[in-house]
Amino acid sequence: MSMSEPKIAVIGTGYVGAITSTCFAWLGGVEVWGLDTDPGRAGQLAMGQVPFYEPGLPEFLAETIATGRLTFTVSPHEALTDADVVFLCVGTPSGADGNPDLSQVESAARTLAPFLRDGTVVVNKSTVPVGSGNWVRTLLEDSLPRADRPAFQVVSNPEFLREGTAIDDFLFPDRVVLGGDESGLRRVAELYRPILEQAFEGGRPERLPELITTGLTSAEMTKYAANAFLAMKISFANEIAGLCELVGADAREVLPAIGADRRVGRPFLSPGLGWGGSCFGKDVSALVATGLEYGYTSGLLSATVEVNLAQRAAVIRRLQRELRVLKGRRIAVLGLAFKPGTDDLRDAPALDIIRRLLAAGAGVAAYDPVVKTLPPDLSAVRLAADVAEAADQADAVLLATEWPEFQDVDPSAVAAAMKGDLVLDGRNVLDPHAWASAGLRVVGVGW
């Protein structure tokens, strides 16, 4: 390997790690090694197979592996020997107290320590509590003999990838945030240069990303604060939608009018069943937990979570109001993933609602274009092959995830399959007139 081609190692090849390693290798000028403890996952990726659903990634991965710049392995020796920059991309699932579980970060640091050398930059991309950069540095130092400890650096580089659009989010970000000491930041910024300058095939030089450099702790806080704000925006939309229903206003008219103000903006100002997924709930809870460590109560953040959970309970109340008794009723749920474009079921509103329906004695059939298996505790749910099969003999249909194909469904086919006539549009994406023309009652959120 020439001096002009740095070696990058990515520890952890889950969602963020797979995207990070593939995109850096695709951009060129570097040799990338993806390291995972799971031989199955590393083997799948090495063959160009993606173990999760992400549009465009299988083709992108296969194309990149063919260049010879990207290798996946379970061998720390192969991946970490002579690595110039090491990205930590391991999972940090939420613990019972709201704080993230950092055992995978700790394990990754201990694996990495023996391979550190002078000038190695350790980049934390895992979402970790504020102050974890210092903790990782201490872990690494404590794993090394004091006498000849190499001069390495730790940089925080939070990821802002959205499931379903992750490749675009990596290559065309609004900003790249790097936190740490100047020399470490410079080295990592150099890796991002093709992205910052949009100097690659298909780049968009008319809209260059912003490079934001901060201290280590500020970069870690930025990740949490960004997700907390987006989650709060959705919860705000849901709170206004609830008030609209009470006074007879229409949230579909009110919220776009608010969002037309550039200071507010339209994205994420969408009422519905609320947010789910692996980030928003985990990150808001982590910020609240951080505050409590310092005796600080984060009232706004706590309310953001409460409003979100209330949306799930509100759906059950609405079904009870319309159907009276849920016991013995058949409910069809359209969409299971927490949002379109992914097969991720983590904290998916649909699953929470289904559990509540089953507890109330209802029978549930469900259809999702991508999700084909459910957790063991939902074995009572009948997974249908399409929308019509899910709606068969249903007393009510609930649209829980706004997959685009649900907007193209023929309402009359659904009406013919159903026993009842109630359609709960949990995402406000169906055309109420078209569905009403088929003899169905459409009830949305906030109108």
pLDDT score of 229 more than 50: yes
- 200 in helix, strand or coil? coil
Predicted local distance difference test score (pLDDT) of residue 408: 96
For CA atoms 28, 172, 124, 150, give the dihedral sign. positive
Residues 14-34 have pLDDT tens digits of 999 999 999 999 999 999 999
Q: Decide if 89 is catalytic.
A: no
pLDDT score of 1 more than 50: no
User: How is the chain split into domains, by residue range?
Assistant: 7-214, 224-304, 315-443
Domains 7-214 and 315-443 share a fold: yes
CA-wise closest residue to 92 among 229, 212, 185, 224? 224
Fold for the domain defined by 7-214? Rossmann fold (3.40.50)
- Residues paired with residue 11 on neighbouring β-strands, in sequence order: 35, 88
Q: How far apart are CA 201 and CA 203, in angstroms?
A: 6
pLDDT score of 135 more than 60: yes
Q: What is the percentage of the chain residues whose pLDDT exceeds 70?
A: 99
Q: How far apart are CA 309 and CA 276, in angstroms?
A: 10
Q: How far apart are CA 40 and CA 52, in angstroms?
A: 13
CA-wise closest residue to 34 among 61, 56, 60, 63? 61
**Residue 244 binned pLDDT confidence (cut-offs 50, 70, 90):** very high
Q: How far apart are CA 86 and CA 84, in angstroms?
A: 7
CATH code for the domain defined by 315-443: 3.40.50.720
pTM: 0.94
Angle between helices 103-112 and 132-142 (to 10 degrees): 40
CATH fit for domain 224-304, picks 3.40.50.720, 1.10.1040.10, 2.60.120.260, 1.10.1660.10: 1.10.1040.10
**Residue 4 binned pLDDT confidence (cut-offs 50, 70, 90):** low
Residues 308-355 have pLDDT tens digits of 999 999 999 999 999 999 999 999 999 999 999 999 999 999 999 999
48-62, 95-109, 178-192, 250-264: which has the minimum mean pLDDT? 95-109
- Which of 23, 89, 244, 279 is labelled catalytic? 279
